[in-house]
């Protein structure tokens, strides 16, 4: 048995698993709403844990001398099932409605998606079981493969799109089967795997050329009049409509929309655009420097230019919209090269990161309907734009306003008006931090006419200095001519919840007493769109429209936590029921401790990993960058830690492991304290420097995080090798549960608190360290 080829096969299998997990999440975000995407991928990952239980019960029939053949078979089935999962995802798209059809399709997606993770898990579990004595090297290849997947995934998604990337993963998985076949003596597994590689590669080439498998239906709707379609690592952007019409529509993941207007650079043609509810700021501050966050198709840029803005800086997070749509034909000519006008500067960046790095001040900062409802990764339950709506974000905006500058945001208004009230709670908290008094003179709220559309918008205005009476009258007169109801101005203060929150001596009394959650969100818990409290989780089932859409994800998250907790219990108790009392007839305590130890490692590792990804989003500028860099650092240096553990620690393993776990727990505590100040202090650095600093910061922790697993396997393999597959399966199951639990904890308490719980889990693992 050629161990080197097995190590390489494990490396390639781990690469495929990591890429498949993230690519399917990206695909699911386009085919179904992001909360269902999170549900599907989290449940599917239990396939990895199920593989450990399967190997535990079948290992006696899997002849040791044929291990390479078994590995090749599992890898080949992994490759084939990847294609089946892709087919199921493309042909079972989900609407938002929770109905019988939704449950049926979600079940089909879950079962199909679980299969590749099950077979890949069989590969890893069997390799660990048979090569436990080389676990330090094997675990190095396992983590290194996942790290390589982080590097490859983003450029592949950008160039191939989600569908062809998944097909390429199937080709890679078949390649792992070839490596395993070569590790053995028989030729048949190698030949069969080689044929599979050629077949899948041919299908990938045909699909890339002819589009045999494409996304034609998403979120329960068939796409029509598609003029443009392209994937990248965090979105799928389409343009739909007719270029002979006055506007065409950009859609992001078939949901969030923004329009491109014909001849948009013609100021005279779009003079009436200043009648929109989103343009209130320009009626009192028409000729200033403007920063627009999330310009999309350019309507806010149009209105700023029509109002006479000196300079418009448009910060667009999505390079497809900025470069492939608005700056490329046919849409460049269609829009009149709007973003190439002399008074417009287009910047591709995340808005919050841009403004923290900017030294400029603006007369108007505008953000209109900035949200995409995109899931970027399993566990990344926060939306990409949530960092735009926190107390720290509002503080950044106001610091970058001129003395009389305006911050304006336009959002959808629905009952209960959670998002509007949360904008006000953010404002009150920001004003307290900046020492700005008399909130009643700094804020205005105006509602659009309800006759205009099914959904009605509301515009929020905040002025750094106090609004003058003349400025207020300009807004009020404009609102009267357009039929816009005044929710609050310094001169018109109707009795409502907005007035109570704006004028309250202690605003916390108001938001704490409100029936839904309107507490101000912070960078530590940036869940602006979550307005559910634990006491009213079930309320979403009786709701409808945008409020239901916004809050359904929170309910799904809590349901998923219950499901994953149940499945973890089944993973632990299920084998005991099947095998009867024989499993624990001897060394009961040691076996339970070994399983608990690996469960703690899975839970602690994923809690820390997910929270670090969330915390570095602001620093690195986008969730995808944070995902790639943080995962790369943790996996690469974790793999190095695994390798070093086999070289450095050969004696007194148990005392050494206990010290490592205690040190790791304490180090996580230190990181919880120091990370935020470092991130805020260095956010102005160039991206390359921020990436380097991130890797440098995470390297010591990642080294330690890579050691407890191989050391624990070495200890367990000495005394209880038969339960290794079971322990590995429980580790995988608690990892999946942990990805859900991490977001529940963060939602309820914050990212730092979730990190502290991760540290506590590592310290609890000390109690269960195998005795060897």
Q: What is the CATH number of the domain that holds 743?
A: 1.20.1250
732, 564 Cβ separation under 8 angstroms: no
Q: What is the pLDDT of residue 377?
A: 35
Q: Which of 217-221, 343-347, 397-401, 432-436 has the lowest mean pLDDT?
A: 217-221
Residue of 195 and 38 predicted with greater confidence? 195
- SS3 call for 75: helix
Closest Cα partner for 727 from 261, 2, 99, 53? 53
SS3 108: helix
pLDDT-wise least confident of 168-182, 395-409, 586-600, 653-667: 586-600
For residue 143, is pLDDT > 80?
yes
Run of H or E including 365: strand 362-368
| 9 lies in the same domain as 129 | yes
Average pLDDT of the chain, as a whole number: 89
Of 513, 535, 562, which marks where a domain is finished?
513
Q: What is the pLDDT of residue 392?
A: 95
Query: Are residues 499 and 549 both part of a single domain?
Result: no
Considering only 125-129, 214-218, 353-357, which range has the smallest mean pLDDT? 214-218
Q: What's the half-sphere exposure (Cβ side, CA atoms, 13 Å) at 106? A: 24
CA distance 78 to 85: 10
Pair type for strands 401-413 and 362-368:
parallel
Looking at the structure, do residues 685 and 713 belong to the same domain, yes or no?
yes
* Domain-embedded: residue 255: no
What's the pLDDT score for residue 653?
85
Confidence band for 570, pLDDT divided at 50, 70 and 90: confident
Smallest CA-to-CA distance from 753 within 637, 634, 623, 610 is with: 610
* Residue where a domain stops, chosen among 473, 493, 513: 513
Long-range Cβ pairs for the range 502-505 (8 Å, 24+): 502/424, 502/428, 502/439, 502/440, 502/443, 503/439, 503/440, 504/428
pLDDT at 581 > cutoff 60 = no
User: 70 and 2, same structural domain?
Assistant: yes
The partner residues of 488 in beta bridges, in order of sequence, read: 445
pLDDT at 386: 59
Distance CA 585, CA 583 (A): 6
Domain count of the fold of the chain = 3
414 in helix, strand or coil? coil
State whether 164 and 192 are in the same domain.
yes
- Model pLDDT, residue 382: 37
Q: Considering the domain boundaries, does residue 644 fall inside one?
A: yes
- Residue 230 to residues 26, 252, 314, 747: CA-CA distances in angstroms? 13, 10, 22, 32
Whether 297 and 284 have beta carbons less than 8 Å apart is answered as no
Check residue 376 and give its pLDDT.
37
The answer on 590 and 508 residing in a single domain is: no
**Domain match, 452 and 557 both:** no
Confidence of residue 479 (pLDDT cuts 50, 70, 90): very high
Q: Which of 127-131, 168-172, 736-740 has the highest mean pLDDT?
A: 168-172
Proportion of the chain above pLDDT 70, given as a percent? 93
Helix ranges (H only) for 59-134 are: 67-91, 100-130
pLDDT at residue 582 is higher than 70:
no
Considering the domain boundaries, does residue 605 fall inside one? yes
Domain range holding 82? 1-219
Of 558, 509, 508, 510, residue with least CA distance to 533: 558
Q: CA torsion sign, 746 to 748 to 750 to 754?
A: negative
pLDDT over 50 (residue 634): yes
Rounded-to-integer distance, Cα 192 and Cα 73, Å: 9
The band of 97, judged by pLDDT with boundaries at 50, 70 and 90, is low
Nearest CA among 335, 327, 337, 265 for reference residue 302: 265
Q: 259 in a domain, yes or no?
A: no
Question: Could you tell me the CATH number of the domain that includes residue 316?
Answer: 3.40.50.150
Residues 484 and 619 in one domain: no
CB 720 within 8 A of CB 591: yes
pLDDT digits (tens, 9 = 90+) for 525-537: 888 888 888 887 7
Q: How confident is the model at residue 452 (pLDDT cuts 50, 70, 90)?
A: very low
For 114-124, how does the pLDDT look when each residue is reduced to its tens digit (9 = 90+)? 899 999 999 99
Residue 705: count of CB within 10 angstroms of its CB:
27
- Top-confidence residue, 381 or 132: 132
Is the pLDDT score of 664 beyond 60? yes
- Asked if 173 and 13 count as a contact pair (C-beta separation under 8 A), the reply is yes
Residue 36: what pLDDT? 63
* C-alpha–C-alpha distance, residues 398 and 402, integer Å: 8
DSSP conformation letters of 580-648? GGGGGSSSHHHHHHHHHHHHHHHHHHHHHHHHHHHHTHHHHSSHHHHHHHHHHHHHHHHHHHHHHHHHH
For 220-252, b/e burial (b = at least 16 CB within 10 A) is beebeeebbbebbbbbbbbbbbeeeeeebebbb
Asked if pLDDT for residue 453 goes beyond 60, the answer is no
- Give mean pLDDT, residues 39-57: 78
Instruction: Mark which of 513, 541, 562 sits at the end of a domain.
Output: 513
Q: What is the DSSP letter of 338?
A: G
Strand order in the sheet with 235-240: 226-232, 235-240, 247-252, 256-261
Asked whether residue 138 carries a pLDDT value surpassing 70, the answer given is yes
What residues contact 712, with CB distance under 8 A and at least 6 apart? 594, 597, 598, 601, 657, 769, 770
CATH of the domain at 179: 1.20.1250.20
For residues 588, 591, 592, 594, the Cα torsion angle rounded to the nearest 10 degrees is 160
> Does residue 224 form part of some domain?
no
Sheet (strand 456-463) strand order? 344-348, 311-316, 289-293, 362-368, 401-413, 456-463, 443-447, 486-488
Are 462 and 572 contained in the same domain?
A: no
pLDDT tens column, 159-205: 999 999 999 999 999 999 999 999 988 889 999 999 999 999 999 99
- pLDDT higher than 60, residue 509: yes
Q: What is the pLDDT of residues 247-285, one digit of tens each?
A: 999 998 877 789 999 999 999 999 999 999 999 999 999
> If you average pLDDT over residues 633-646, what whole number do you get?
93
Q: How far apart are the first and last CA of the chain?
A: 27
The closest of 172, 140, 130, 179 to 153, measured between CA atoms, is 172
Q: What is the pTM of this model?
A: 0.90
Q: With respect to residue 109, please indicate whether it lies within any of the assigned structural domains.
A: yes
SS3 category, 309? coil
Q: For residue range 340-393, list pLDDT tens digits in order.
A: 999 999 999 888 889 988 899 999 999 998 875 544 333 333 334 458 899 999
Establish if 250 belongs to a structural domain.
no
Give the model confidence (pLDDT) of 303-319 as tens digits: 999 999 999 999 998 99
> Does residue 497 sit in the same domain as residue 632?
no
The answer on 553 and 473 residing in a single domain is no
**Same-domain pairing of 177 and 280:** no
Nearest to 729 by CA among 572, 566, 563, 562: 572
Q: Is residue 663 part of a domain?
A: yes
Q: How far apart are CA 144 and CA 639, in angstroms?
A: 6
Average pLDDT over residues 80-109: 80
């Amino acid at each position: 048995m050629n161990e080197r080829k097995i190590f390489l096969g494990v490396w390639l299998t781990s690469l495929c698993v990591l890429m498949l997990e993230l690519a399917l999440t990206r695909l699911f975000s386009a085919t179904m709403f992001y909360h269902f995407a999170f549900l599907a991928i989290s449940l599917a990952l239990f396939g990895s844990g199920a593989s450990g239980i399967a190997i535990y019960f079948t290992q006696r029939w899997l002849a040791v001398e044929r291990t390479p053949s078994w590995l090749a078979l599992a890898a080949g089935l992994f490759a084939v099932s990847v294609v089946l999962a892709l087919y199921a995802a493309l042909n079972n798209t989900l609407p938002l409605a929770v109905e019988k059809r939704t449950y049926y399709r979600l079940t089909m997606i879950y079962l199909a998606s679980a299969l590749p993770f099950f077979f890949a898990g069989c590969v890893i579990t069997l390799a660990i079981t048979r090569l436990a004595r080389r676990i330090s090297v094997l675990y190095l290849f396992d983590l290194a493969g996942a790290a390589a997947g982080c590097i490859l995934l983003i450029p592949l998604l950008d160039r191939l799109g989600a569908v062809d990337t998944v097909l390429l993963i199937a080709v890679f998985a078949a390649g792992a089967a070839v490596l395993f076949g070569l590790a053995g003596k028989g030729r048949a597994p190698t030949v069969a795997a080689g044929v599979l590689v050629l077949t899948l590669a041919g299908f990938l080439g045909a699909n890339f050329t002819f589009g045999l498998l494409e996304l034609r239906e998403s979120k329960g709707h068939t796409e029509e009049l598609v003029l443009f379609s392209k994937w990248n690592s965090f979105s799928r952007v389409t343009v739909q409509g007719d270029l002979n019409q006055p506007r065409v529509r950009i859609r992001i993941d078939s949901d969030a929309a923004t329009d491109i207007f014909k001849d948009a650079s013609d100021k005279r043609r779009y003079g009436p655009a200043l009648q929109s509810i989103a343009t209130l700021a320009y009626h009192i501050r028409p000729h200033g420097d403007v920063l627009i966050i999330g310009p999309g198709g350019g309507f806010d840029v149009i209105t700023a230019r029509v109002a006479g803005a000196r300079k418009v800086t448009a910060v667009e997070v999505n390079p497809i919209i900025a470069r492939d749509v608005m700056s490329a034909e046919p849409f460049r000519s269609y829009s009149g090269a709007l973003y190439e006008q002399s008074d417009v500067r287009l910047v591709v960046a995340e808005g919050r990161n841009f403004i923290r790095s900017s030294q400029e001040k603006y007369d108007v900062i505008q953000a209109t309907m900035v949200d995409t409802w995109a899931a970027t990764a399993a566990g990344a339950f926060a939306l990409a734009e949530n960092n735009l709506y926190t107390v720290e974000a509002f503080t950044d905006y106001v610091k970058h306003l001129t003395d009389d500058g305006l911050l304006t945001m336009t959002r959808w208004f629905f009952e209960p008006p959670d998002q509007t009230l949360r904008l006000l709670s953010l404002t009150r908290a920001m004003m307290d931090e900046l020492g700005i008094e008399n909130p009643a003179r700094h804020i205005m709220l105006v509602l659009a006419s309800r006759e205009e559309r099914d959904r009605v918008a509301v515009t929020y205005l905040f002025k750094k200095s106090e609004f003058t009476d003349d400025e207020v009258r300009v807004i009020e007169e404009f609102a009267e001519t357009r039929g816009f109801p005044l929710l609050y101005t310094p001169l018109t203060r109707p009795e409502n919840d907005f007035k109570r929150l704006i004028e309250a001596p202690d605003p916390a009394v108001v938001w704490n007493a409100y029936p839904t959650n309107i507490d101000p969100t912070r960078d530590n818990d940036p869940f602006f769109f979550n307005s559910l409290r634990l006491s009213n989780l079930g309320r979403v089932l009786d709701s409808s429209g945008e409020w239901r859409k916004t809050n359904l994800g929170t309910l799904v998250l809590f349901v998923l936590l219950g499901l994953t907790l149940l499945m973890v219990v089944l993973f632990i108790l299920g084998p005991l029921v099947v095998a009867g009392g024989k499993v624990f007839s001897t060394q009961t305590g040691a076996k339970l401790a070994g399983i608990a130890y690996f469960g703690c490692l899975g839970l602690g590792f994923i809690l820390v990993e997910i929270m670090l990804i969330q915390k570095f989003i602001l620093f690195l500028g986008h969730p995808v960058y944070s995902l790639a860099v943080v995962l790369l650092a943790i996996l690469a240096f974790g793999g190095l830690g695994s390798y070093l553990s086999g070289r450095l620690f050969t004696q007194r393993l148990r005392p050494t492991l206990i010290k490592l776990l205690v040190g790791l727990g304490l180090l996580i505590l230190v990181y919880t304290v120091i990370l935020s100040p470092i991130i805020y202090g260095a956010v102005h650095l160039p991206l390359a420097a921020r990436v380097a600093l991130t890797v440098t910061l995470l390297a010591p922790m990642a080294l330690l995080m890579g050691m407890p697993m191989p050391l624990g396997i070495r200890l367990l393999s000495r005394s209880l090798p038969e339960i290794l597959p079971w322990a590995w399966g429980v580790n995988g199951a608690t990892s999946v549960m942990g990805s859900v639990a991490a977001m529940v904890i963060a939602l309820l308490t914050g990212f730092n608190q979730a990190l502290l719980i991760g540290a506590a889990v590592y310290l609890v693992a000390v109690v269960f360290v195998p005795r060897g």
